[in-house]
Amino acid sequence: MNGPRRQRIRARSRVLRQAIDALDYLASGTLLTRTKVCGRATCRCAVDPAARHGPYYEWTRRSEGRLVHYVVSADQAQLIALAINNHRAVQRLLAAWERETAAEILQEEVAAIGRSRASRRRKSRETRPSKSGK
């Protein structure tokens, strides 16, 4: 495939690669924000939900096939949240890049099949006895 269609597809995949390149930090897993009660009966947290301790940030991720839990600081949680969002963005971008690649590769295939069918049709018409020869 040549020409403007291929150039458009190439340009779109270049934009997708640049978007991936522009991302920094990549993480998977889940980040939970929790507050806790300490269990002391005299503590305000026992009666007032707003007085619960925290927030605490817990990051759960898969590492070498196992789930691992980390308690992280607020600063770390901020970066992890960014990294998890980036991970989702990369997956969307990869899916789009995959579609563009398939469109580019299959367009050649479709064009080739179209051409060979057309030439087969032409040949079969040529071998069919002509109406005038009845």
Q: Which residues bind Zn ion (CB under 5 A)?
A: 38, 43, 45
Residue 59's SS3 state is strand
* 39 vs 133, beta carbon nearer Zn ion: 39
* 38 vs 94, beta carbon nearer Zn ion: 38
Closest distance to Zn ion from the beta carbon of 19 (Å): 46
Distance CA 103, CA 19 (A): 20
Q: Residue 84 CB: number of other CB atoms within 10 A?
A: 19
Pinpoint the alpha helices (H) of the chain.
3-21, 74-127
Closest distance to Zn ion from the beta carbon of 51 (Å): 7
* 42 vs 124, beta carbon nearer Zn ion: 42
Closest distance to Zn ion from the beta carbon of 53 (Å): 5
Both tokens assigned to 115: 């051409």
